[in-house]
Amino acid sequence: MLKRHARAACTALAAAGLLFAGSGGATAEPVPGPTAPSAATALRTADAPPELLAALQRDLGLTPTQAKARLVHEAEAGATAARLRDRLGAAFAGAWVDGADAGTLTVATTRAADTAAIRAAGADARIVVRALADLDSAKAVLDRAAGPRTPVRYVDARANTLVVEETEAGAAARLLAATGTDPALVTVVRTAEAPRPLYDLRGGDAYYMNGSGRCSVGFPVTKGTVNGFATAGHCGRAGTTTTGFNQVAQGSFQASVFPGNDMAWVAANTNWTATPYVKGSGGANVQVTGSVLQPVGASVCRSGSTTGWHCGTIQQHNTSVTYPEGTISGVTRTTVCAEPGDSGGSYISGSQAQGVTSGGSGNCSSGGTTFFQPLNPILSAYGLTLKVTGSDPGPGPGPGDPEPGGTWKAGTVYAAGATVTYGGGTYRCLQGHQAQAGWEPPNVPALWQRV
């Protein structure tokens, strides 16, 4: 966890841990219907602010052209991978992007017969032995028995293996034996780092708990008429009071989960207003337009009250980490650095909110690995609505027009695989996100597929 205590303001991370802190006459040709927008258009990658592009160039060694292209390619890759995952079903074995501009999408499968469909979708195909679901199931077994000596576990889709990190020789072997896990599924990696909490209403701004420890705002949200923000659970428990970056009374924690997950939300008093921004490089506002989770290999930037704005890439989703306080599951592993006090802060990819800083290792001088708690489960668990910048209502019903009807509803968090009805059709969700006006299923094929 990256929460910083006031008395430890100068302490650097020495070990992995939580980061608190789309007319004619009779002879005219038929007029085609409107074209649905591309994923990049739907996710508004062209609106990426200069500060975000500059940080991508700095931290990933990109040219300006590569930085812009990367955001476009990542959006399209996420949509393509989601459609292929739905098509491949149980044979799906993961997907990732490669290249400086993320121009190459690879999709893995356990069936050779799937390669034609994968290539037809514009992706590279890789045939592997193990399906992603099988490796995830094995990881879930290990998660229930893991301890601090096997602190990190994740599925490496590129290598088609389940990785277990151990801090002492033999710890992973003992875990596999105790759980009856086939060693052939697992790659053991020795690490000297042990994740720990880093205890120390714009995303990335500082806030203080009970007047002492410091964490960072994740993403401003609303619940009915109440303004607040999502953050890390290890920063506080229900009832913990908060003051803002200016030490003015701010609000209190309404709910918190840690360990197990690392999620919480704070309700602010009426002096504070949620904004649809994250604090970017130099203090500039970076807009938030949605919460579509990006694929492995995609770029991601983090804002925190200790180290500010830093970028890296997503390494693995659904990672499990065992901190001294207990195991956290479902977090995302990244190459972004962080330090104490950054806990709870914002992870954003392009303009899409990804999650809140949990923990990690290393620091922003020598580099490190950090984990974020995905945002969508927080929104869903607590009934929160992410604050986003002006969304275009698109070609949906205008004022006075009848609603098309169906079960789709703006504000609902949909997971990949969920089905809804809208306008007489049935649609399956391809990428997890919180629905909003303008993102009705027929309008965003990057997010919904008609079935």
Active site residues: 234, 262, 343
Residue entry with tokens 């195991």: 327
Query: Is 423 exposed, middle or buried (CB count within 10 Å of its CB: 0-12, 13-18, 19+)?
Result: middle
Please tell me the distance from the alpha carbon of residue 187 to that of residue 328, in angstroms, as a whole number.
20
Residue 417, C-beta contacts closer than 8 angstroms, at least 6 positions apart: 86, 428, 429
Q: In this structure, are residues 383 and 375 in contact, taking their beta carbons and an 8 Å threshold?
A: no
Give the count of beta carbons closer than 10 Å to the beta carbon of residue 275.
Answer: 17
Please tell me the distance from the alpha carbon of residue 32 to that of residue 27, in angstroms, as a whole number.
15
Q: Using only C-alpha atoms, what is the Rg of the chain?
A: 22
Question: Phi/psi of residue 426, each to 5°?
Answer: -110, 135
Q: Which helix (H) or strand (E) holds 333?
A: strand 326-334
Which DSSP string do the residues of 1-57 spell out, in sequence order?
---B-GGGTTPPP-S-EEB------TTPPPPPPPPPPPHHHHTTGGG--HHHHHHHH
- Output the CA torsion sign for 146, 148, 149, 154: positive
Angle in degrees, CA 73, 358, 289, rounded to 5: 40
Question: Phi/psi of residue 164, each to 5°?
Answer: -125, 120
Q: Which helix (H) or strand (E) holds 351?
A: none
Please tell me the distance from the alpha carbon of residue 291 to that of residue 52, in angstroms, as a whole number.
17
